[in-house]
Structure 1
């Protein structure tokens, strides 16, 4: 007789626990955005035309990407980092402005090659900017440039004849290098054209000849 209250208490606790679990199972599931698309993911397709490697990938806003491009170059794009190109605008005055994130898949084409001096170059289309605070990183594989320690990854706007060292105006885009692994790298706030200039302080716009893929 003295055990009945204890049994009723245990039954009540079990019922409450089951009710809580049922409620949790009915709650909406938050999409996972930390999955990593490996370098050889099916979403990355590459082919070569002359000396240029052309890669395409379908950006999914819920996925993070660490892509291996031609020549050992790498591109890291976190989940949810791309602004909607139809709603957010593009240009230097907007790099740090709030934007509407891209919510649907978007295909990018990345062209990479080495110029006549052996320096890596890259063009990404379409031109887009990134959600402020996103850590999109471009890593060029260039042992010579990395060993010198003074190389700069410059931005070459679409259709422009000069390239710009963005690190002069924005410390978050300063070029860094690692002579141990041969990478020259920096943060990007937008997609367009980029290339490495060796041993250049970057006080002036850098003249570009023949930049781009024909």
Structure 2
């Protein structure tokens, strides 16, 4: 029931924007999504399951945006700048993404454990949500590796690959610093140019 699942996640996200997670009621989420409370429990199992699924969905959405930025046209520096700007924008607009990237969870947010939880569900999407959730260091590694894959040319020498890996990690860590302290207009591109190897700028 993918459509019902997405509607329930949308309803939970909207409810979270209005009140702390502790005050979000399952019955209200189901009513807002236009489905029965039983459907909600069939999909997620519990409120904790709903929280895990919501966090997983927002993590996936963030990473999909990173992929789009890295796949764009332009030079390596332009694409990395787009990925940093996406990171800063989505973290500013989405409290769950900000918490996942920084590890700073407020009492307003659900804070599911990042380790896998025991799952008996038959819903494949929920089994995935019940698996390990990414921590800030996981995001650094995932985004860094995706940037290297997107930017590495065919037949790159091992020394070039190692330099690219270091540079992409620096760029990802810059992105995280931009979440906490956004640079001035145009400052993101300057930061990227400062850390990229000269031949990629």
Query: What range is the shorter-chain TM-score in?
Result: under 0.3
Higher strand share: 1
Q: TM-score w.r.t. structure 2 length? A: 0.28
Q: TM-score w.r.t. structure 1 length? A: 0.27
Larger RCO (alpha carbons 8 Å, 6+ apart): 2
